[in-house]
A and B are shown apart, each in its own frame.
Chain A
């Protein structure tokens, strides 16, 4: 066992440094990071703003808006809404912008290696 996790099958003899330096991979990494980093910062800021308001602006949060429903409850429920929205946004972004490049690279690298070793590509189970 041991380091088996690090070098399974087809990927063993790939020159990853070379792959890492390709333009296509750089583009994939850029697309991934330019989405997840700003988004992570945004939702964490929004969450901590909410926690700080609940902690130190009790009067504001207790302002009744409609019946017994106050600003605190509305902002709390908006946290749910924003979580669902970001989830949906990320899924559609990765389906459109990330998955195609990743799948293409995977096919190229694993397909290439399999050819080199004379093994069929169909041997990889999805």
Chain B
């Protein structure tokens, strides 16, 4: 192997279309068979939403890694490192360290107190109706942002692989992805979705490991030489230093802080990650699953460091930016450079599978929240039976699938890691304060929860709408308009502390006290696991 950089000819990629489609079709066929087999035991609501709580810690940990290592991690972070160097690496650190919040403060306590959704825990000792409604609204909002990111990733990938750069063609492919996802979730429920995630996580980590090994082998397993290669190709030594992307001005430095805050506090508040803790039988297994996912995710992010700098060195930032799909195409282009059409086909199929699996996980979370929190507990006021609830959930899946398709068509082209960071900011602002307060603060009241959740959700979304992401710059979603009065592109720095403050203020100003019996029950159950939902026996 030579250190010279052979040009990756993007036009060559079209010739591999059939191969890519073949590998992808094979993945869909195999997973569909598994989903159908897994779904034969789906009888109750606990089966449909929580896979009968029958997964082991390691299985669930792998599925969590599958859920978490989305297109954002793989395509987005590799691309961000390839283009912006060190600043891209910061994403992976934030995404990983965040798991400690989930491990230490949330996972086990949540498994012990809840049943299907995040709202089960938040409304445990507060007033059911208002808290459930706001928790469901924020679940739907976070899932929607996350879905947008995944769908945008699908668009980028397609445009690269099939050379489809026209709007209609990409829209068609996004529709196919959406339709497949709806099928998985309708047929398989949580069990089928979990198996798709497990398979995908193993394929993704294996694929990334092979590429990492390959890149390192080219540089004689010397990280310093690889970094040197990245500097040589980019002709910019600053790719190794922080600040290339975020060090430009005082505003961008604050934006970086905001991003860092949102990343580290967002994970433990993501509804689709929280819901995964209900698929294991005990809190001990929930802990085990977090440990597994921390190891898998951590190792994967170490791979992305090598892949990102590898893409910068071997493919080159200019080629990546010029390719259809832009920043997000770094990993597929690197695969093509290393292993030709076959590796590209494999990596692309894995990336597709990634999107499909994550979208399925998000959809079932959103559907469960609507059916369980809004329909069963608010509209039917607890009088509906589990069958009707699951029926409502299935219909919601179709509606959310259609919304995701439409949203994805419009979100095309943004860096997916960045879009996901927005979902993290919304989750951290809307959910985390209430999760923490209701688990650890005895005095916390309904008013505090409502102020914090509506305040956090509202401020995060309003600040995003008024940020440069939506208007004011060339790369905004609405490039023609300018109402960007908030300078930061990530709202976390303002909205997260605000939500914590509102939760505290709402509570201390609340003259009503909550039921101390419920508080005692929640605290005892969360720590001991007394009365926790048991596994379904078939």
Which A positions have Cβ atoms within 8 angstroms of B?
1-12, 14, 16-17, 19-20, 25, 28-29, 32-33, 35-36, 39-40, 43-44, 47-48, 50-52, 54-56, 58, 61-62, 66-70, 72-73, 76-77, 79-80, 83-84, 86-87, 90-91, 94, 98-99, 101-102, 105-106, 109-110, 124-126
Q: Are A56 and B253 in contact (CB under 8 A)?
A: yes
Judge if B78 is at the interface, Cβ distance under 8 Å. no
Closest 9 CB pairs of A and B: A2-B382, A11-B531, A67-B224, A5-B115, A68-B227, A54-B242, A62-B241, A16-B521, A51-B260
Assess A102 versus B529: contact at CB under 8 Å? Given A68-B224, A79-B97, A80-B93.
yes
Closest Cβ–Cβ distance, residue A3 to chain B (whole Å) = 7
Q: Are B224 and A109 in contact (CB under 8 A)?
A: no
27 CB < 8 A contacts A-B: A1-B389, A3-B128, A10-B530, A11-B521, A11-B531, A16-B521, A25-B527, A28-B527, A44-B264, A47-B94, A54-B86, A55-B242, A55-B253, A58-B242, A66-B224, A68-B228, A68-B231, A76-B89, A76-B93, A79-B96, A83-B100, A83-B294, A87-B100, A102-B528, A110-B530, A124-B534, A125-B534
Contacting residues, chain A, for B298 (C-beta < 8 A): 80, 83-84
Q: Are B86 and A72 in contact (CB under 8 A)?
A: yes
Q: Are B247 and A83 in contact (CB under 8 A)?
A: no
Contacting residues, chain A, for B372 (C-beta < 8 A): 1
Which B positions have Cβ atoms within 8 angstroms of A?
45, 86, 89-90, 93-94, 96-97, 99-101, 103-105, 114-116, 120, 124, 128, 222-225, 227-228, 231, 240-243, 246-247, 253, 256-257, 260, 264, 281-282, 284, 287, 290-291, 294-295, 298, 301-302, 372, 376-377, 381-386, 389, 440, 516-518, 520-521, 523-525, 527-531, 533-535, 537
Q: Are B103 and A90 in contact (CB under 8 A)?
A: yes
Q: Are B105 and A36 in contact (CB under 8 A)?
A: yes
**What is the chain B residue whose CB lies nearest that of A109?**
B530
Q: Are B302 and A80 in contact (CB under 8 A)?
A: yes
Q: Are A54 and B264 in contact (CB under 8 A)?
A: no
Could you say which of B257, B294, B381 contacts A84, with CB atoms under 8 Å apart?
A: B294
Across the A-B interface, how many residue pairs have beta carbons closer than 8 Å? Answer: 198
**What is the chain B residue whose CB lies nearest that of A57?**
B242
Interface centre among B100, B104, B381, B524 (most CB of A within 10 A): B524
Bound state CA distance, A29 and B522, in angstroms? 13
Closest Cβ–Cβ distance, residue B113 to chain A (whole Å) = 9
**What is the chain B residue whose CB lies nearest that of A70?**
B240
Closest Cβ–Cβ distance, residue B503 to chain A (whole Å) = 17
Q: Are A94 and B287 in contact (CB under 8 A)?
A: yes
Bound state CA distance, A48 and B294, in angstroms? 20
Contacting residues, chain B, for A29 (C-beta < 8 A): 523, 527
**What is the chain A residue whose CB lies nearest that of B93?**
A79
Closest Cβ–Cβ distance, residue B255 to chain A (whole Å) = 10
Contacting residues, chain B, for A44 (C-beta < 8 A): 264
Q: Are B525 and A11 in contact (CB under 8 A)?
A: yes
A17-B517, A39-B100, A91-B287 given; name 15 further pairs at CB < 8 Å.
A5-B114, A9-B531, A11-B530, A14-B524, A28-B528, A39-B104, A54-B256, A55-B246, A67-B225, A67-B228, A73-B86, A80-B302, A84-B294, A87-B294, A109-B530
Contacting residues, chain A, for B86 (C-beta < 8 A): 54, 72-73, 76
**What is the chain A residue whose CB lies nearest that of B442?**
A20
**What is the chain B residue whose CB lies nearest that of A58?**
B243
Bound state CA distance, A56 and B252, in angstroms? 11
Bound state CA distance, A29 and B270, in angstroms? 26
Contacting residues, chain B, for A32 (C-beta < 8 A): 527
Could you say which of A47, A94, A106 contacts B530, with CB atoms under 8 Å apart?
A: A106
Bound state CA distance, A2 and B376, in angstroms? 7
**What is the chain A residue whose CB lies nearest that of B260?**
A51
Contacting residues, chain B, for A77 (C-beta < 8 A): 302
Could you say which of A7, A72, A90, A98 contacts B241, with CB atoms under 8 Å apart?
A: A72
Q: Are A43 and B224 in contact (CB under 8 A)?
A: no
Contacting residues, chain A, for B382 (C-beta < 8 A): 1-3
Contacting residues, chain A, for B529 (C-beta < 8 A): 102, 106
Could you say which of B90, B104, B517 contacts A54, with CB atoms under 8 Å apart?
A: B90
Bound state CA distance, A98 and B247, in angstroms? 45
Bound state CA distance, A76 and B241, in angstroms? 11
Closest Cβ–Cβ distance, residue B347 to chain A (whole Å) = 24
Bound state CA distance, A99 and B237, in angstroms? 51
**What is the chain B residue whose CB lies nearest that of A10?**
B531
Bound state CA distance, A14 and B517, in angstroms? 11
Interface centre among B291, B381, B520 (most CB of A within 10 A): B520
Contacting residues, chain A, for B521 (C-beta < 8 A): 6, 11, 14, 16
Contacting residues, chain B, for A12 (C-beta < 8 A): 531
Q: Are A106 and B528 in contact (CB under 8 A)?
A: yes
